Amino acid sequence: MKKNKNLVWIVTVMAALITETSFGAGGSSSQSSGLWSSIDLPGFNFGYGTSINGETTNFTASMSNVDRIGNVNISVSHDGNDPSRGYVFACFSGVVGDPAEKMDYMSQSTNFNRRGVYYSSNVGLSSYQQTTSWIDGQPIYGDWMSNGSASLSLMDVTPTWATMSYNEFSDQYSGNTYYNGYVQWQLDFDSSETAAMYTNFVPTSIGTISPVPEPSTIALIISGIAAIGIWAWRKKR
């Protein structure tokens, strides 16, 4: 894999500076609406779910990929125009062509329960080897798969819709292609106190490679900006 340690990734709305290659046959991005959905293809699986248990709402997302997942994060924020409305955002990203390999399980979590406000998040990275067939009762192994997971549990929120998307971005400076898959849920906060508490939490994240392009911030995504580019700038050696 070609690496350039001198890259500094800057979030910008100048989409013309990169060439975008979308996932899926025909070059269109894959999106699904609803509170659960999944994509299941050879060497790739991406899905999310939403469940409610009493006063607690659970948001989960996961990705398995033959390309190594470099970063996973999950966060919550409020709508800048309507503080009673918020968003949960889970993101998976890495470098196209960087093969998954054997790795130890890594995880990061945040747990908070204070005065009726409950916040519990977890992200993880691991890998496993695909079983392609069986001969005389013995498995025949294929490629390694990188596996990322993200979960978040909140109290006093009501999910209203969700969307899932996967895209690949080619950087014209380094020649590398990066991928980014995300799930975004919209939710309503039951009180302004809940909204203020939840939106002060730092995203829970874990990563093994850098740099990779991330979404700008959840604030930019929910602000309705139609085109967000990611511009790579090469430092002088």
- Which residues lie closer than 8 Å to 224 by C-beta, 6 or more apart? none
> What HEC string does the chain produce?
CCCCCCEEEEEECCHHHCEEEECCHHHCCEEEECCCEEEEECCEEEEEEEEEECCEEEEEEEEEECEEEEEEEEEEEECCCCCCEEEEEEEEEEEEEEECCCCCCEEEEEEEEECCEEEEEEEEEEEEEEEEEEECCEEEEEEEEEEEEEEEEEECEEEEEEEEEEEEEECCCCCCEEEEEEEEEEEEECCHHHHHHHCCCCCEEEECCCCCCCCCCHHHHHCCCCCCEEEEEECCC
Lowest mean pLDDT, pick from 42-46, 64-68, 160-164, 222-226 = 222-226
Q: What is the mean pLDDT of the chain?
A: 77
In this predicted structure, the answer to whether residue 224 has a pLDDT above a threshold of 50 is: no
pLDDT confidence of residue 135: 84
Q: Which residue has the higher pLDDT, 21 or 120?
A: 120
- Which of 23-27, 42-46, 69-73, 105-109 has the lowest average pLDDT? 23-27
Over residues 23-53, the pLDDT tens digits come to 333 233 344 445 899 999 989 999 999 999 9
pLDDT grade for 7, boundaries at 50, 70 and 90: very low
Say whether pLDDT at 87 is over 90. Answer: yes
Determine the pLDDT at residue 69: 96
Which pLDDT value is given to residue 174?
A: 83
Task: Tell me what pLDDT residue 34 has.
Answer: 57
Write out pLDDT tens, residues 166-221.
Answer: 999 998 888 899 999 999 999 999 888 888 888 889 999 998 765 444 443 333 33
Q: Which pTM does this prediction carry?
A: 0.73
With CA atoms as reference, report the closest residue to 48 among 176, 218, 183.
183
More confident residue, 77 or 6: 77
pLDDT at res. 173: 85
Of 48-57, 110-119, 158-167, minimum mean pLDDT range: 110-119
What mean pLDDT comes out for the span 108-136? 89
pLDDT at 171: 87
